[in-house]
Amino acid sequence: MNIQTNLRSGKWYFSSLLMVLSIGVLLLLLNGKTTCFITLNNYHVYWLDVFFINYTFIGDGLFAIMCIIVYYFHLKQKQQGIAMLISFIVIATIVQVAKNLFNSPRPKLFFNPGQYTHFIEGVSIANHASFPSGHTACAFAIATVMVLMANNKTTQLALLTAALLVGYSRIYLGQHFLLDVIVGAVIGTASGIIGFYIAINMKPVKIFNQRKNRKEDEQIAGTAIT
């Protein structure tokens, strides 16, 4: 399996993602992270609060582990399961290093009292380690691995929308700035590609080959006896 072929087959996902990220970067350059955050958070209603409080779980590490287990053991799509696992490890490493290195203030600590008031009651909001968004990275890694096995345009755009909504949920819930989400999306996408590339080029573990050969030898021996 050729990774270039898979990347080309995911053209709708990657080209649309590039366009969205480019728009996001342009907005940041023109307006700055404070204005972008407040503008993107200008509309809050109860049903959206409830939706995003629950939806953001898709970017949680526990959800990623669930996906890995389902793909590897239940769906028997071992390459995708391994790709997700590798991506998750890459993300966890990069994101945690970056968070500890930059230790950027989250919106609740960044804004002066009264400057932004739409923090949702009941949502636990951290004060530090804002950059980059780990939830966004996780969501895009899972989506990217799925996309690399999906030729269907509708499926690709649906997965992109799902991942983008996770990214927006982090801003809506007051957990991250737009820059955190953009970088998280880039890290997640790159990790997904790396994980998929490693997974499709992995050679079977020797112990499994030895067991398979032993089983074949036993079958041959049994046939010879009968």
pLDDT at 123 over 90: no
In whole angstroms, what is the distance from residue 191 CA to residue 6 CA? 15
Contacts of 146 (CB under 8 A, 6+ apart): 80, 155, 159
Inform me whether the pLDDT recorded for 212 exceeds 70. Answer: no
More confident residue, 46 or 214: 46
Average pLDDT over residues 125-145: 95
Report residue 184's pLDDT band, with 50, 70 and 90 as the boundaries.
very high
Q: Report residue 208's pLDDT band, with 50, 70 and 90 as the boundaries.
A: very low
Average pLDDT over residues 133-138: 98
Average pLDDT, the chain: 90
Write the DSSP string, 8-28.
Answer: HHTHHHHHHHHHHHHHHHHHH
Q: Which H or E element spans position 220?
A: helix 206-225
Q: Which tokens in the block code for residue 106? A: 């989250």
pTM of the model: 0.88
Higher per-residue pLDDT: 149 or 212: 149
Residue 70, Cβ density class (10 Å: 0-12 exposed, 13-18 middle, ≥19 buried): middle
Predicted local confidence at residue 211, as pLDDT:
55
What's the pLDDT tens digit per position in 71-122?
A: 999 999 999 999 999 999 999 999 999 999 999 999 999 999 889 988 898 7
User: In the predicted model, is pLDDT for residue 217 greater than 60?
Assistant: no
Report the domain count for the chain.
1
Between 127 and 125, the higher pLDDT residue: 127
Q: What separation in angstroms does the CA of 111 have from each of 83, 91, 102, 118, 214?
A: 39, 28, 18, 12, 66
Q: How far apart are CA 98 and CA 154, in angstroms?
A: 34
* pLDDT at residue 118, rounded to an integer: 87
Q: What pLDDT does residue 122 have?
A: 79
- Say which range, 28-42, 177-191, 193-207, has the weakest mean pLDDT: 193-207
Distance of CA 10 to the CA centre of its chain: 16
- Choose between 64 and 122: higher pLDDT: 64
Closest by CA to 72, choosing from 86, 88, 84, is 84
**Domain extent for 66:** 3-225
pLDDT > 70 fraction of the chain, expressed in percent and rounded: 89
Contact of 204 with 14, CB cutoff 8 Å? no
